[in-house]
Amino acid sequence: MKLVPKVNTDGLYLEDELVDDAFSGVVPFYAESVGEQGDIVAPEKPELVGYTVGVPITTPGLYKPKFDFAAWKAYESAVYEAQEAYISALDDWQAKGRVAEEQPVYIAPKQPDNLWTEGLTPKEIAELTKPATPEPSETVLLRQRLSDLELVLTEIMLGK
């Protein structure tokens, strides 16, 4: 079993889900309805909620990871084209009498490294990372008040 990210329909990270080790790819998930007896029932028209993504988040330090669906679809298209080219080459090879030295080899396209990007704008990140203004603690306030009282007492004792 492994943890994989779940994202909303915009690709923004929601949470992790435990899935089988063999899980890969991008699979949609839908809203569930609860019936009168508390059982889960399938709605007449399923509502797409998001996707379970079998691609790990490899870019560290993202504040709000976002999955790039366009890059994923381009990668899937490249895989499909490579498979079609391999099948065609294999069919040609078999039609020519299966000469072992000329057997085609399937070469899968490399999965892109940049499938996860930052989902927040630089302005939102700056707002999140700006240093907090220190608020005076109760101890600091009590010390200040005690110092003020000591000054007042000193003035009274000196007769001012």
The rounded Cα 74 to chain-centroid distance in angstroms is: 19
Q: Would you list the domain boundaries of the chain?
A: 2-155
pTM for the predicted model, two decimal places? 0.70
Q: pLDDT tens for residues 108-142?
A: 999 998 899 999 999 999 988 888 777 777 888 88
Cα–Cα distance measured from residue 85 to residue 96, given in angstroms and rounded to the nearest whole number: 17
Average pLDDT over residues 71-83: 96
What pLDDT is stored for residue 100 in this prediction? Answer: 64
Q: pLDDT tens for residues 14-65?
A: 999 999 999 999 999 988 776 667 676 666 788 899 999 999 888 888 999 9
Cα–Cα distance measured from residue 150 to residue 139, given in angstroms and rounded to the nearest whole number: 16
For 124, phi and psi rounded to 5 degrees?
-65, -40
